[in-house]
Amino acid sequence: MSELLKVPTMAEFMAAGKQPEVLFWVGCAGSFDDRAKKITKAFVKLLNKANVEFAVLGTEESCTGDPAKRSGNEFLFQMQAVTNIEVMNAYEVKKIVTACPHCFNTIKNEYPELGGNYEVMHHTQFLKSLLSDGRLTIEGGQYKGKRITFHDPCYLGRANDVYEAPRDLIRKLDAELVEMKSCKSRGLCCGAGGAQMFKEPEKGSKDVNIERTEQALETKPQIIAAGCPFCNTMMTDGIKNKEKENDIEVMDIAELIANAEDL
Amino acid sequence: MEYLPRLLFAIALIIGIGYFARNVRKLIRNIKLGRDVEISDNKSQRWKNMTMIALGQSKMVKRPIAGILHIIVYVGFVVINIEVLEIIIDGLTGEHRIFSSAGEIYDILIGTFELLAFGVLVAVIIFWLRRNIIKLKRFLSSEMKGWPKSDGNIILYFEVVLMCLFLTMNGADLQLQLNGAEGYSTAGSFPISQWLLPIFDGLSNSTLIIIERAAWWMHILGILTFLNYLYFSKHLHILLAFPNTYYGKLTPKGQFENNEAVTKEVKMMMDPNVDPFAAPPEGAEVAVPAKFGASDVQDLSWHNLLNAYTCTECGRCTSECPANQTGKQLSPRKIMMDTRDRLEEVGKNIDANKGEFKDDGKQLLGDYITNEELWACTSCNACVEACPVSIDPLNIIMQMRQYLVMEQSAAPMELNNMMTNIENNGAPWPYNQMDRLNWKNE
């Protein structure tokens, strides 16, 4: 299975004197987190299927600096940013796609002021464009008629006003999209943003991911769809906390589509 | 004799407006204590935002009940001010209902004022019930105890009294008109105050004139008092919502400001030609290195401080905040209230020390806002999205985190570990950068 994955690097493209159509920014979670790696692979399968000429930076990729900046370490953030920008500008990167809304937001919004200007897309936007260009087709397959609720990642939704691309993809699966009481611009955070992912929460009455999971459960979903590796972790933990892991799956949109295609 | 009331009126007006103007100057001075930032781009978009968000109340109706009631009070406030203009002209000239020469238009105007005044009364009573009887959660947070709670109610009482005086004045006037009293020629239509006629019926003209005059005077004096109350109250939003929405953030919410002071340092570090040990040239002014982040109000931008004065403590931010919803100490509204309280304190300090700020051993960080509050933020932007007047509490939180981390190295231990990982191996977890592509073959 895995030997079928074609994952060329920017260095390989450059050696061949070619430019890829798009750089796939994998991100730290997508590279190292066991759950998120599955999302990465699912997305790569879709890119392979649609014959997208993409490349990754591989070992030349480094953290965008998002958690450092949100923790207040502007210095570390800018060091990371400037280093990444140097690498990407050397490769003359024009277009970037990433499955992590935090990387998406940082590269799209915060790199330009430090000299990195790229067209940046979230993978749900990119997949949608592949569909509308006819390069990829989706059939509902196993998800036809399933109740799916979508959890808006803050850094995709409120932060960048991307609400429809992931929802359009779910609809394409012929699934029944059900909305939580707070969704889109009022979507509740999963609790991981602002570098909370890497620390214990402050004292309170409840963890944020439990609150959000309860909101999701109110919709009686079969699947909770996510578009962010951190949200995915938080919601998965929430579902386990509620002992619902046998009934409800937390899946990234890319995984849903790849599974529907039996990839 | 006839000049005396006109003179008194002019004096009241001068004192009322003069004192207010003095406080507005203080307000502007305080806002300017903030760090200078330039916000002069995209003027047309800014005017549009102001028109939509402040004038058009577009974000208020996201919560329909409060939104619609607020619009009634807001429209009432704006429209009834036309009546205040008439009162001022009458007061200064000794005329009575000077606009009544407009005939039918005047009837429509007065009729509209009355209907709005009644609407305001009803809305304000519901607002009071929401605060004091229904006890909506967002009005009960810990930061709302004491003065903020009284402030909210005082404003409502003011409005009830002003509207009642307005309607009493009109009712007595109408009775005088019906009685054919001298100086009270038929003018205006009174769809609400006509219901007060049974109270006034049978009173002598002289008693009615006393009632009418008393209500007139108390109404205008009440308005001048209310105007001067604003500076001491959360109610400043009725003025500051306009500049605040004009200067609101236009970039995507996820785009956090670039810290230029840090960029300078980073560029120097990355530049191979810079001699890190170079002494400043002889005679050159040694620039004091900028403080990274904010620990007090003077470190925040003037825009942050304008935000703080604009906040009317409605608490929509706090009720949307994931940290607050799950019982953490963080409340974005408290961040704004603390910023304003500290700014007021600094302002008073400056007043007391002949225009110079004397160190009082206090600051915003620690004395007002705790580290625990700051670290509870998920930076999700729910508070920013919720604010009906474009206030950005997150921006202040992030500047204070910058101070904690870059000036004090006071991040929680786990975050320090995360940052060390990023520094050493380019990921927030302790994995080797050389293993980044291993997933491909797993």
Task: Reply yes or no on whether the pLDDT at B382 is more than 70.
Answer: yes
Extract the tokens encoding B89.
Answer: 């002209």
Which residues on A lie below 8 Å from B424 (Cβ)?
none
Extract the tokens encoding B252.
Answer: 């995507």
CA distance B79 to B150: 27
Task: Reply yes or no on whether the pLDDT at A193 is more than 90.
Answer: yes
Task: Reply yes or no on whether the pLDDT at B240 is more than 50.
Answer: yes
Based on the fold, state whether residues B227 and B372 are members of the same structural domain: no
8 Å CB contact between B235 and B312: yes
Based on the fold, state whether residues B136 and B167 are members of the same structural domain: yes
> Mutate which of B437, B438, B441 to disrupt the A interface (most A C-beta within 10 Å)?
B437
Listed as own residue / partner, the contacts of B153-160 with beta carbons closer than 8 Å and 24 or more positions apart are B153/B128, B154/B229, B154/B233, B155/B229, B155/B233, B155/B234, B155/B235, B156/B124, B156/B127, B156/B128, B156/B131, B158/B222, B158/B225, B158/B226, B158/B229, B159/B73, B159/B120, B159/B121, B159/B124, B160/B121, B160/B124, B160/B125
End-to-end Cα spacing for chain B: 99
Bridge-partner residues for B365, per DSSP?
B369
Q: What is the pLDDT of residues A35-70, one digit of tens each?
A: 999 999 999 999 999 999 999 999 999 999 999 999
Q: Assess if residue B376 is contained within a domain.
A: yes
Q: Assess if residue B51 is contained within a domain.
A: no
Extract the tokens encoding B110.
Answer: 């007065």
Q: Assess if residue B334 is contained within a domain.
A: yes
CB contact under 8 A, A71 and B382: no
For residue B165, the enclosing domain spans 4-31+63-237
CA distance B53 to B75: 14
Q: Give the residue from A52, A121, A114 showing the smallest Cα distance to A80.
A: A114
Based on the fold, state whether residues B265 and B363 are members of the same structural domain: yes
- The contacts of residue B435 (CB under 8 Å, 6+ apart) are A31, A32, A59
For A147, the enclosing helix (H) or strand (E) is: strand A147-150
* CATH code, domain carrying B334: 1.10.1060
Interface size between A and B, measured as CB pairs under 8 A? 221
What rounded mean pLDDT belongs to chain A?
96
- For residue B257, give the amino acid letter: E
8 Å CB contact between B357 and B297: no
Task: Reply yes or no on whether the pLDDT at A2 is more than 50.
Answer: no
8 Å CB contact between B302 and B38: no
What predicted TM-score, i.e. pTM, was given to this entire model?
0.95
- The contacts of residue B351 (CB under 8 Å, 6+ apart) are B26
Pairing of the two strands A119-122 and A223-226: unpaired
Q: Assess if residue B439 is contained within a domain.
A: no
- The distance of A79 to chain B (nearest Cα, Å) reads 6
Based on the fold, state whether residues B100 and B227 are members of the same structural domain: yes
Mapped onto helix, strand or coil, the DSSP state of residue B52 is helix
Q: What is the pLDDT of residues B292-329, one digit of tens each?
A: 999 999 999 999 999 999 999 999 999 999 999 999 99
Based on the fold, state whether residues B232 and B304 are members of the same structural domain: no
Q: What's the pLDDT score for residue B268?
A: 84
Using the 8-state DSSP alphabet, how is residue B423 labeled? H
CA closest to A41 among chain B residues: B440
Q: Assess if residue B84 is contained within a domain.
A: yes
The CA dihedral of A101, A66, B330, B338, to the nearest 10 degrees, is -120
Based on the fold, state whether residues B21 and B149 are members of the same structural domain: yes
CA distance B237 to B235: 5
Complex-level ipTM: 0.96
Instruction: Nearest by CB to A211, from B326, B377, B435: name it.
Output: B326
CA distance B148 to A182: 29
For A169, the enclosing helix (H) or strand (E) is: helix A164-172
CB contact under 8 A, A192 and B378: yes
Task: Reply yes or no on whether the pLDDT at B279 is more than 90.
Answer: no
- % of chain B exceeding 70 in pLDDT: 97
When pLDDT is cut at 50, 70 and 90, the band that residue B269 belongs to is confident
Q: Taking a contact as any Cβ pair under 8 Å apart, which residues of chain B between 358 and 377 contact chain A? A: 372, 375-377
CA distance A85 to A82: 5
Q: What is the pLDDT of residues A13-23, one digit of tens each?
A: 999 999 999 99
Instruction: Nearest by CB to A204, from B327, B422, B440: name it.
Output: B327
Backbone conformation region of residue B352, classed left if phi is above 0, alpha if psi is from -120 to 50, else beta: alpha
Assign 3-state DSSP to chain B and report helix, strand, coil percentages, each to 5. Answer: 70, 0, 30
Instruction: Nearest by CB to B402, from A59, A72, A203: name it.
Output: A72
Q: What's the pLDDT score for residue A1?
A: 46
Extract the tokens encoding B413.
Answer: 């231990």
Based on the fold, state whether residues B230 and B95 are members of the same structural domain: yes
DSSP-assigned states of every residue in A47-96: HHHTT--EEB-GGG----SHHHHHHT-HHHHHHHHHHHHHHHHHTT--EE
Using the 8-state DSSP alphabet, how is residue A108 labeled? I
Based on the fold, state whether residues B226 and B264 are members of the same structural domain: no
Q: Assess if residue B53 is contained within a domain.
A: no
> Mutate which of A63, A102, A180, A203 to disrupt the B interface (most B C-beta within 10 Å)?
A63
Q: Give the residue from A72, A76, A125 showing the smallest Cα distance to A98.
A: A125
List where CATH 3.40.50 sits in chain A.
2-131, 138-260
At residue B214, what are phi and psi to the nearest 5 degrees? -60, -45
Which residues on A lie below 8 Å from B408 (Cβ)?
none
> Mutate which of B142, B316, B380, B432 to disrupt the A interface (most A C-beta within 10 Å)?
B380
Angle at the Cα of B266 from the Cα atoms of B263 and B269, rounded to 5 degrees: 150
CA distance B380 to B107: 52
Mapped onto helix, strand or coil, the DSSP state of residue B289 is coil
Average pLDDT over residues B31-58: 96
When pLDDT is cut at 50, 70 and 90, the band that residue B135 belongs to is very high
- % of chain B exceeding 90 in pLDDT: 86
Q: Is B317 on the interface with A (CB under 8 A)?
A: no
Burial A15-39 (b: 16+ CB within 10 A, else e): eeeebbebbbbbbbbbbbbeebbbb
Query: Quick one: CA dihedral A189, A194, A195, A200, positive or negative?
Result: negative
Q: Assess if residue B364 is contained within a domain.
A: yes
CA distance B167 to B195: 10
When pLDDT is cut at 50, 70 and 90, the band that residue A4 belongs to is confident
Question: Taking the domain A138-260, which CATH number applies?
Answer: 3.40.50
Which residues on B lie below 8 Å from A47 (Cβ)?
none
8 Å CB contact between A5 and A41: yes
Q: Give the residue from B434, B23, B1, B5 showing the smallest Cα distance to A62.
A: B434
Q: How many CA atoms lie less than 13 Å away from B315 in the CB half-sphere?
A: 17
Query: Quick one: CA dihedral A192, A198, A204, A209, positive or negative?
Result: positive
Q: Is B141 on the interface with A (CB under 8 A)?
A: no
CA closest to B375 among chain A residues: A202
Average pLDDT over residues A103-127: 98
Based on the fold, state whether residues B81 and B214 are members of the same structural domain: yes
Report how many domains make up chain B: 2
Task: Reply yes or no on whether the pLDDT at A26 is more than 60.
Answer: yes
Extract the tokens encoding B193.
Answer: 């105050």
Based on the fold, state whether residues B205 and B264 are members of the same structural domain: no
Q: Assess if residue B243 is contained within a domain.
A: no
Average pLDDT over residues B239-268: 95
Q: What is the pLDDT of residues B185-203, one digit of tens each?
A: 888 899 999 999 999 988 9
For B413, the enclosing helix (H) or strand (E) is: helix B413-425
CA distance B421 to A21: 32
Q: What's the pLDDT score for residue B294?
A: 97
Task: Reply yes or no on whether the pLDDT at B1 is more than 50.
Answer: no
Task: Reply yes or no on whether the pLDDT at B116 is more than 50.
Answer: yes
Task: Reply yes or no on whether the pLDDT at B275 is more than 90.
Answer: no
Based on the fold, state whether residues B324 and B360 are members of the same structural domain: yes
CB contact under 8 A, B414 and A59: no
Q: What's the longest Cα–Cα distance across chain B?
A: 100
When pLDDT is cut at 50, 70 and 90, the band that residue A231 belongs to is very high
What rounded mean pLDDT belongs to chain B?
94
Angle at the Cα of A231 from the Cα atoms of A230 and A233, rounded to 5 degrees: 65
Task: Reply yes or no on whether the pLDDT at A3 is more than 60.
Answer: no
Q: Is B318 on the interface with A (CB under 8 A)?
A: no
Does the domain at A2-131 match CATH 3.40.50? Answer given as: yes
Q: What's the pLDDT score for residue B330?
A: 98
Bridge-partner residues for B369, per DSSP?
B365
Instruction: Nearest by CB to B401, from A56, A71, A159: name it.
Output: A71
8 Å CB contact between A218 and A188: no
Based on the fold, state whether residues B215 and B265 are members of the same structural domain: no
Extract the tokens encoding A177.
Answer: 């999209």
